[in-house]
Structure 1
Amino acid sequence: MSNVIYRVNEVFETIQGEGIYTGVPSVFIRLQGCDVGCPWCDTKHTWDVESGDECALDQVDQPSHDQKRWASATAEQLIQLVMQYHAKHVVITGGEPCWYDLNPLTRRLSDHGYQCQVETSGTYPIAIDPRAWVTLSPKIAMRGGREVLTSAMFRANEVKHPVGRQADIDALDALLARCPSSAAIALQPISQQPRATQLCIQTCIERNWRLSAQLHKYIGVL
């Protein structure tokens, strides 16, 4: 049995709103901790791991509503929380989930018949079960100064890139030139900005890429 301890901000059930699995009922496991520093991040409450924010595990089995908190949990404890819900798709996100060794958690979830999806910035090594799906949202030239790893790009099943302007697409092109990938590519407008959305639509049509429109924000669910 693994002795990996995960710091968990929240566990809840909803509809996946982004990427290839858009519309799929999912249990989200949101882990605490990230030093990438994306300025548009909508989960900044998960960045810091401070001792004063620790709480009991039974307090994170519900949406945190942007509360900066975390509870310690083993893979087996997280599986017990997940099994309370109906969904068979589990999204492990953050924060930056690849701060942690995700092998024990993704392996045990897969063994229990769950499809695992890990959402990562690609700036940390990806330690997961080979059956898990990797959604890599490459964070390029962020405040934290971390680079997207070539190994992470090779492991990605899906590259979901946030776009606010043409320079963001140019940065993705440069990354793909450095790290060719067979992953599906989706562009995601930042914060539903109309100009960014139109740019993503135009580029997706021209390149036969996908559009990730953050469905959950349009329909008003977590």
Structure 2
Amino acid sequence: MKRIVCFGDSNTYGYDAITDGRFDENTRWTCVLQKLAGPDYTIIEEGLSGRTTCYRDPINEGMAGMDYIYPCLMSHGPFDTLIIMLGTNDCKERFSATPKNIADGMKRLVEKAKGMPVWNGVPDIIVISPAPIRKECESSFVAGEMGISSDKSYQLAREYSIMAKLEKVRFLDAASMDMNTIDYMHLSAKGHRQLAEMIWEELQK
């Protein structure tokens, strides 16, 4: 049985912007991926709303992925594949991070994960660039939380792709995934299924 850890933020947690709740097990991309993969795989959810790659949030504690990835992965090892989808929260105006800064944060996570004694064989990491934050988000009800964040989010895919090539890890771009029209930042139910299907296709390679 192959074990896959999915390390991410609210889009991995399954936040539903329409209900301000959480998508159920028939909708979240991690759960859809489990159904696509079948009994030969165990998909492990590790999503936290607000999580960043490495930035400590002065408002909300425990959000830096770099601080948590070691105990997280050690508790789930051994496993075969690590999927990391982060970067949306790094775009928040209060962090003042450039797209390159955010990619460097992702690089730190990748390098730390590679060196940990948690792998069934050679480390296999899939880095996913999250769907960009649409410009409408900056005038939505979460504008006060996110600030000016849209433009840099559209540059993450390029920076992540460069980083992934240098680190010799797999890369996927979630730019085409469907988003909700409430906060223009979180995946819709359709987007969750699209993402699961994209990841499953990559896992079969």
* Global fold match (TM > 0.5): no
Give TM-score scaled by structure 1 length: 0.36
Which one has a larger percent helix, Structure 1 or Structure 2? 2
Query: Radius of gyration: which is bigger?
Result: 1
TM-score (norm 2): 0.38
Q: Which has the higher contact order (CA 8 A, sep 6+)?
A: 2
